[in-house]
Amino acid sequence: MDTEGLLSQRMHRLKSSAIRELLKHSKMENIISLAGGIPSDALFDFEGLNEATQLAITQQPKNAFQYGLTEGSEKLREGIVTLCAERGVIARADEIIVTAGSQQALDLVMRAVVDPGDVFVVERPTYLAALQTLQLAEANIMSVASDSDGMVVDELEELLKTQKIKGVYLVPTFGNPSGLTLSRARREQLVKLAHQHHFLIVEDDPYGELRFTDERNPTLSQLGKEAYGDAANIVYTSTFSKILAPGMRLGWLVLPQWLLHKVAIIKQAADLHSNSLSQTVAEYYLGLNRLPTQIAKIRAAYKAKCETLAGLMTQELGDYISFDMPKGGMFLWARFRSQVNTSVWLEQAIKQGVVFVPGEYFFSDNPDCSTLRLSFATATEEQMHEAVARLRRAL
């Protein structure tokens, strides 16, 4: 039976995540993975999560196990308001929708705003799953370059002289995969361009709290509100996955009023509401006031891991590979000084027992095949020493 005709055309164009495919290798015996963007479960606050879970199921069992509001638990949204305020994102509870992670947040927004053929701009490189979401929405994806200061907004400004765009998607702080941060000047320039040219900014901020220094740039959302008030068309999304536990599948959106109800309708059609038990556990966890200590613990651990991996890469492969030192996040983005195809190198690396993500998968067009992404979040120091030694042997 020919089943190909039963699939939609968009499914024929959609590609599987390269990272998901690589995770199959990471499960193999004797493989050290520097591939997945997975938080370290050694840093999970199991004690606090257990206490919050017990409180949820003993004190609010009806809320924990019953249907809930599409927009999310009112108490959790109030807690998210506080979290956002600490980041400079000023929002009311009725401007927030709780989602099944920030991945669903991106999907809901793109389905709400993108018609087939609409131009959405991303940076080179960009988050792979965002490309999948835009492809599924049938957007016309265009890209602009990035450098050590993040997206080259001057290039976007040139594009806008000839091209009408629907929106810009980016991870401005400790980006995935680049690990880099958009400079203050470029943030202000981008927000101004969005207002002048009437396009939407989708600000994805999963890693902003994972900073290794005291330096903090204002969010695009904050700059937009300060400059243009409610006229700033900026969507802010973040998640509990990197600061608490990804298995809870909880993220959130802060939306302009004109978009809020439309996104809520789509979410209602998709899954009615996010997981009630997870939301109730998150409510109680925030009430325990353990999150600031937990974030500080994660920051310190990731900073040490990052410095270890960067030092080993410089020592063992510095003659061949260059990279910018991340100031936060979970990733180190590297580039060969010569034209080495990292997908070909990966084949040899797997034989040596180590995996990473070739950089070409993070480009919507004109891929730089000499790049790669390394995650330092889950590997131990001992594993990183061995992994880099294996990378050297593979080279």
| Residue 235: burial class (beta carbons within 10 Å; 0-12, 13-18, 19+) | buried
Same domain, yes or no: 58 and 200: yes
Residue 9 included in any domain: no
Q: Could you tell me if residue 99 is inside a domain?
A: yes
Give, in order, the Cα–Cα distances in Å from 325 to each of 174, 300, 385.
11, 16, 18
84 part of a folded domain? yes
Per-residue confidence in pLDDT tens, the chain, 395 aa: 567 778 787 777 766 666 666 666 666 778 999 998 899 999 999 999 999 999 999 999 999 999 999 999 999 999 999 999 999 999 999 999 999 999 999 999 999 999 999 999 999 999 999 999 999 999 999 999 999 999 999 999 999 999 999 999 999 999 999 999 999 999 999 999 999 999 999 999 999 999 999 999 999 999 999 999 989 999 999 999 999 999 999 999 999 999 999 999 999 999 999 999 999 999 999 999 999 999 999 999 999 999 999 999 999 999 999 999 999 999 999 999 999 999 999 999 999 999 999 999 999 999 999 999 999 999 999 999 999 999 999 99
Domain of 311, CATH number, reads: 3.90.1150.10
Side chain identity, residue 304: A
Q: CA 297, 88, 78, 232 torsion: positive or negative? A: negative
- Considering its fold, how many domains does the chain have in total? 2
Distance CA 186, CA 189 (A): 5
Does the residue 85 lie in any domain?
A: yes
- Whether 239 and 326 share a structural domain: no
**Domain termination site, one of 263, 287, 311:** 287
Same domain, 142 and 250: yes
Same domain (yes/no): 269, 298: no
| Same domain flag for 242 and 355 | no
Residues 139 and 237 in one domain: yes
Which of 253, 287, 321 is a domain's end point?
287
10 inside domain: no
Looking at the structure, do residues 250 and 232 belong to the same domain, yes or no?
yes
Burial of 389 (0-12, 13-18, 19+ CB in 10 A): middle
Are 337 and 199 members of one domain?
no
Q: Is residue 89 part of a domain?
A: yes
Whether 32 and 84 map to the same domain: the answer is: no
Exposed, middle or buried by CB within 10 Å (0-12, 13-18, 19+), for 253? Answer: buried
The answer to the question of residue 6 being in a domain is: no
For residues 268 and 127, membership in a common domain is answered with: yes
Domain containing residue 141: CATH number: 3.40.640.10
Helix (H) or strand (E) holding 372: strand 371-375
Residue 97 located in a structural domain = yes
Answer with the one of 287, 310, 328 that is the final residue of a domain. 287
Both 312 and 365 in one domain: the answer is yes
Domain that holds residue 384: 15-45+293-394
Q: Are residues 250 and 364 in the same domain?
A: no
Query: Angle at the Cα of 267 (from 235 to 269), degrees rounded to 5?
Result: 150
194 burial class (0-12, 13-18, 19+ CB within 10 angstroms)? buried
